[in-house]
Every structure is written in structure tokens, then in C-alpha cells.
Amino acid sequence: MEASELLENFQWKTSEEAKEKNQENIEQELADVLIYSLMLASDLELDVEGIIEKKLELNDRKYPVEKSRGSKEKYTEL
């Protein structure tokens, strides 16, 4: 729910337009998303830093910079 409320600020707008019109709301909704995410990670005894590192490594393998930079191709077609 909170993530949807955050994304509503950007619907049909550029990031700059959203920030100009809704910065306070964006900050509040982003805080909600982060708070709930960290609470969930804590409840599930998850290592947030480790999860992020694994995801970044996966993205590096899935989207190698030398092949994906500037490309509109899907990762399976790189």
C-alpha cells in the first residue's frame, strides 16, 4: 500500500515534476516504505546489507555494463 502511495506521486510526471510538486509527500511515503521494509527484515531476521549485495551482484551478471549500457534490449537478448 505504501509503495503504491509513493509511486502515485510519479504517475504521468517526470521525476523533476514530481519532486517540484510533491517533495514533502514523496519524503513521507518513502519513509513509510523504508520503515516497513526494515521492520519486516528485522522480524524475519534478514541481513539487509547481504540481501542488497546479492541483488546488486545478480544485476551485474544479468545486465553487464559493456552489453547493456544504452541498449533497449531485454536482458535475455543481450
Q: In terms of pLDDT, which residue wins out, 41 or 77?
A: 41
Band (13; pLDDT cuts 50, 70, 90): very high
Which DSSP category does 72 fall into?
A: -
For residue range 39-74, what is the model confidence (pLDDT) as tens digits? 999 999 999 999 999 999 999 998 888 877 787 777
Band (9; pLDDT cuts 50, 70, 90): very high
Cell numbers for 24, please give them.
514533502
Which DSSP category does 63 fall into?
A: S
State the pTM of this model.
Answer: 0.74
Say how far apart CA 19 and CA 14 lie, in whole Å: 9
